[in-house]
Structure 1
Amino acid sequence: MAVEPWLSTAQDMIWASLADATRVSYARKIQEVLVFRRQQRLEDAWPLPVAHLMRFIIALRDRDLSARSIAVYLAALSFQARALGWVDNTADFRVRRMLEGLKRSCPRPFDARRPVTPVMMQALCAEFGLLCTSPYEMVLFKACCLVLFFGAFRPSEVLSVSKFNPGDRVLRWGDCQVGPNRVSLFLRHSKTDQRGRGQWVHLQKAANGKICPVRAVVAYRWGAPQGAGPLFRHENALPLTVYQFRAVFHAALQRLGVVPGLFGLHSFRIGAASTAARLGFSSGAIQRIGWRRSGAFWYYVR
Structure 2
Amino acid sequence: MPPAKGSAPAANKILDGHNLYIVRPTKRLIPDFPTWLQCFSVYSAVLILKYPERATSLLLYQKNIAYLSQRFRWPSWVVYDNSFRSEAADNAKTDWSLIDYGVHSRSFHNQTLIRDSWCANCHSVDHLQADCPYAKTGAPPKKRPAAAPYPMHSKRPNAPICMNFNRTNLEHYFHQSIAPATHRSYNSAQTRYIKLYTQISIQPLPLEETHLCRFASFLAKDNITYTTIKCYFSALRRLQLSHNYPEPMISSFPKLECVVKGIKREQAHKKGETPKRLPITIEILQKLRVFFEARSHETDAFMLWAAVTTCFFGFMRSGEITLPSESAFDPSSHLGFADVTVDDISAPQLVKLRLKASKTDPFRKGVEIVIGRTHNSLCPVAALLSYLAIRGNRPGFLFLFADGRPLTKSRFILKIREALSLVGIDSSQYAGHSFRIGAATTAAAQGIQDSVIQMLGRWKSSAYQLYIRTPKDKLARYSSIIAA
TM-score normalised by length of structure 2? 0.57
How much has 1:12 moved relative to structure 2? 4.1
How much has 1:93 moved relative to structure 2? 0.9
Q: Is the 8 A contact 1:143 1:220 kept in 2?
A: yes
Show the counterpart of 1:57.
216
Of 25, 46, 61, which residue of structure 1 is paired with 2:185? 25
Q: Report matched runs for 1:215-254 at 5 Å.
A: 215-254=382-421
Code of the aligned partner of 2:364: G
Show the counterpart of 1:47.
206
Show the counterpart of 1:149.
312
Q: Is the 8 A contact 2:350 2:371 kept in 1?
A: yes
Of 97, 116, 125, which residue of structure 1 is paired with 2:280? 116
Runs of 4+ that moved beyond 6 A:
none
How much has 1:229 moved relative to structure 2? 1.9
How much has 1:100 moved relative to structure 2? 6.6
Mapped to 2, the partners of 1:244 and 1:53 lie a distance apart of 38
Of 82, 90, 93, which residue of structure 1 is paired with 2:252? 93
Q: Is the 8 A contact 1:113 1:263 kept in 2?
A: yes
Q: Is the 8 A contact 2:323 2:408 kept in 1?
A: yes
Show the counterpart of 1:198.
366
Code of the aligned partner of 1:140: M
Q: Is the 8 A contact 1:50 1:92 kept in 2?
A: no
Of 325, 328, 337, which residue of structure 2 is paired with 1:173? 337
Secondary structure in structure 2 of the residue aligned to 1:166: coil
Mapped to 1, the partners of 2:290 and 2:229 lie a distance apart of 43
Q: Is the 8 A contact 1:149 1:271 kept in 2?
A: yes
Where structure 1 has 5 or more consecutive residues not aligned to the other structure, the ranges are none
Of 283, 298, 302, which residue of structure 2 is paired with 1:139? 302
Secondary structure in structure 2 of the residue aligned to 1:211: coil
Q: Are the structure 2 counterparts of residues 37 and 152 from structure 1 closer, same or farther at C-alpha, using a change threshold of 3 Å?
A: same
Q: Report matched runs for 1:271-282 at 5 Å.
A: 271-282=438-449
RMSD: 2.6
Using the TM superposition, name which of 161-170 and 67-76 deviates more.
161-170
Mapped to 2, the partners of 1:258 and 1:243 lie a distance apart of 19
How much has 1:84 moved relative to structure 2? 2.8
Mapped to 1, the partners of 2:258 and 2:356 lie a distance apart of 38
Code of the aligned partner of 1:94: F
Mapped to 1, the partners of 2:427 and 2:350 lie a distance apart of 31
Q: Are the structure 2 counterparts of residues 46 and 227 from structure 1 closer, same or farther at C-alpha, using a change threshold of 3 Å?
A: same
Q: Are the structure 2 counterparts of residues 203 and 102 from structure 1 closer, same or farther at C-alpha, using a change threshold of 3 Å?
A: farther
Using the TM superposition, name which of 144-153 and 243-252 deviates more.
243-252
Q: Are the structure 2 counterparts of residues 76 and 164 from structure 1 closer, same or farther at C-alpha, using a change threshold of 3 Å?
A: closer
Computing the radius of gyration from Cα coordinates, the structure with the larger value is 2
- Size of the aligned set, in residue pairs, is 299
How much has 1:90 moved relative to structure 2? 4.4
How much has 1:258 moved relative to structure 2? 1.0
How much has 1:8 moved relative to structure 2? 4.9
Show the counterpart of 2:424.
257
Instruction: Determine if the alignment matches structure 1 residue 129 to structure 2 residue 293.
Output: yes
Mapped to 1, the partners of 2:447 and 2:391 lie a distance apart of 37
Mapped to 2, the partners of 1:239 and 1:131 lie a distance apart of 20
Using the TM superposition, name which of 52-61 and 270-279 deviates more.
52-61
Secondary structure in structure 2 of the residue aligned to 1:210: coil
Q: Is the 8 A contact 2:216 2:260 kept in 1?
A: no
Code of the aligned partner of 1:262: Q
Deviation track 1:218-243 (CA, whole Å, cap 9, x = no partner) reads 22222222133211123454322334
Mapped to 1, the partners of 2:414 and 2:211 lie a distance apart of 45
Mapped to 1, the partners of 2:339 and 2:294 lie a distance apart of 30
Instruction: Determine if the alignment matches structure 1 residue 70 to structure 2 residue 234.
Output: no
Secondary structure in structure 1 of the residue aligned to 2:454: helix
Mapped to 2, the partners of 1:123 and 1:43 lie a distance apart of 58
Q: Are the structure 2 counterparts of residues 162 and 100 from structure 1 closer, same or farther at C-alpha, using a change threshold of 3 Å?
A: closer
How much has 1:212 moved relative to structure 2? 0.8
Q: Are the structure 2 counterparts of residues 38 and 104 from structure 1 closer, same or farther at C-alpha, using a change threshold of 3 Å?
A: closer
Instruction: Determine if the alignment matches structure 1 residue 38 to structure 2 residue 198.
Output: yes
Mapped to 2, the partners of 1:178 and 1:125 lie a distance apart of 23
Show the counterpart of 2:13.
none
Secondary structure in structure 1 of the residue aligned to 2:302: helix
Of 373, 378, 381, which residue of structure 2 is paired with 1:211? 378
Mapped to 2, the partners of 1:110 and 1:202 lie a distance apart of 34
Code of the aligned partner of 1:173: F
Code of the aligned partner of 1:184: K
Q: Are the structure 2 counterparts of residues 99 and 229 from structure 1 closer, same or farther at C-alpha, using a change threshold of 3 Å?
A: farther
Q: Is the 8 A contact 1:206 1:212 kept in 2?
A: yes
Instruction: Determine if the alignment matches structure 1 residue 14 to structure 2 residue 177.
Output: no
Using the TM superposition, name which of 83-92 and 4-13 deviates more.
4-13
Q: Are the structure 2 counterparts of residues 137 and 24 from structure 1 closer, same or farther at C-alpha, using a change threshold of 3 Å?
A: closer
Code of the aligned partner of 1:71: K
Deviation track 1:62-91 (CA, whole Å, cap 9, x = no partner) reads 333333211111111111222333122243
Code of the aligned partner of 1:175: D
Show the counterpart of 2:353.
185
Secondary structure in structure 1 of the residue aligned to 2:223: coil
